Amino acid sequence: MPRRDASGSESNVGRDAALDTQWRSGALVALRLTVLLVLVCGVGYPALLYGAARLAFPSQAEGSLLHDQCGRVIGSLLIGQLFEAPQYFHGRPSAVAYNAGSSGGSNLGSTNPVLADSLAARAIAFREANALARDRSLPPDVVTASGSGIDPHVSPEMANLQATRVRRARTRDRGVSFSAEQLQELIAAHTLTRQAGILGQPRVNVLELNLALDSLDSNAPIHFGCVPAATGAQR
């Protein structure tokens, strides 16, 4: 009896020790593998992709940036800008005032009075600014904030509704006259269709449209040339 007791407890000790080493070796494997996989997935892979993207698609990798004649960045083709002046087409309402360093939507629910009120106010303001009838129905993108807060696009209808205002403002303030047809053509030329004929929604890139407009407008600021102060003053 005593011998069996002794051997029994001994094998228990042995089993515990074996289990102990199993856990310890498992923990060591886990630590080593963690470090190795961080090197492969968290360092090697992004670096490899960085190199490949720079070689294959450098412009996109840098953010599809748009430059003026002096080489200064004036925006990104993909990121919407805030337009409030009457001579420009305006984008959608934004919950973050087009701050591309802090993207986001309103997160207001369907039964939130804040949303209902701001929608109604935006509808009235848009109709007034564009001299539309008080009961003119509006496409939803006119009054709703986007998910990103920096949506670069509006619907073709929202662009068309602004054409008259933009034309009048250019004539009044700049003395540059566009015909109504000219503006319609410009909007049509900058309307993106569905990709592959199926995917997505027809849309107009507001920044691109406004740049095209300015390039036809000899009095627009972009034609005033480069301001040499930036480089000149440093020397």
Positions in 140-199 near another protein (CB under 8 A): 140-158, 160, 194-196, 198-199
- Give the Cα separation of 90 and 213 in Å (integer): 13
Q: Total residues contacting another protein (rule CB under 8 A)?
A: 112
**Interaction with another protein in 116-145: which residues (CB under 8 A)?**
116, 119-120, 123, 135-145
- Give the Cα separation of 228 and 224 in Å (integer): 12
Cβ nearer to another protein, comparing 10 with 157 = 157
Cβ nearer to another protein, comparing 202 with 225 = 202
If one asks whether residue 231 binds another protein (CB under 8 A), the answer comes out as no
Residue 130 has which token pair? 């564009």
**Interaction with another protein in 56-95: which residues (CB under 8 A)?**
56-57, 60-65, 72-85, 88, 92
Cβ nearer to another protein, comparing 92 with 167 = 92
User: Shortest distance, CB of residue 161 to another protein, whole angstroms?
Assistant: 10
Indicate which single residue of 86, 105, 176, 178 sits in contact with another protein (rule: CB under 8 A): 105
Please name the amino acid found at residue 45: Y
Cβ nearer to another protein, comparing 98 with 167 = 98
Give the full edge-to-edge strand order of the sheet including 203-205. Answer: 153-154, 203-205, 191-192
The contacts of residue 166 (CB under 8 Å, 6+ apart) are 86, 87, 88, 89, 183, 213
Cβ nearer to another protein, comparing 175 with 221 = 221
Instruction: Evaluate whether 217 touches 209 at the Cβ level (below 8 Å).
Output: no
The contacts of residue 189 (CB under 8 Å, 6+ apart) are 212
The contacts of residue 138 (CB under 8 Å, 6+ apart) are 123, 126, 127, 158, 161
Indicate which single residue of 10, 20, 45, 177 sits in contact with another protein (rule: CB under 8 A): 45
**Interaction with another protein in 1-20: which residues (CB under 8 A)?**
none
